[in-house]
Amino acid sequence: MTGRTARIGRWGLALGCYGAAKAAVVQLTKTLATEMGPHGIRVNAVAPGWIRTPMTGRHGAEAQARTEAAMARLSPLGRVGDPEDVAHAVLHLACDASAFTTGQILRPNGGVAMPW
């Protein structure tokens, strides 16, 4: 690189790699849904937004509170997600209520628009 450095994300991930991995999951979900549908197998993925977990709080309670407040302001619901929010989304995809759903990316994110 000529005097420039690659932009590294907040968690030390190169954003290009992170974005490529997300795109790969989306495409794999669609491809597998197409291939497995004739066998009666549904394939979907879940891409949650900011969820309160031990990982998001690894920098301490004060940092977590600041980050959660900032993330909550981005959500029309005014809060960050809890693990139960993701579990309920997965439960929906696993039950008969979603029997006609395949090849989809479910985004339990509190209404926050996500770039992927």
| Domain edges within the chain | 15-106
* 91 is annotated as an active-site residue: no
Set 9, 14, 18, 31: catalytic member: 18
Tell me the per-residue pLDDT of 22-34, one tens digit each, with 9 for 90 and over: 999 999 999 999 9
Query: The whole model's pTM is what?
Result: 0.78
Does domain 15-106 bear CATH number 3.40.50.720? yes
Tell me the per-residue pLDDT of 30-87, one tens digit each, with 9 for 90 and over: 999 999 999 999 999 999 999 999 888 888 888 889 999 999 999 999 999 999 999 9
> What is the SS3 string spanning the chain?
CCCCCCCECCCCCEHHHHHHHHHHHHHHHHHHHHHHHHHCCCCCEECCCCECCCCCCCCCHHHHHHHHHHHHHHCCCCCCECHHHHHHHHHHHHCHHHCCCCCCEECCCCCCCCCC
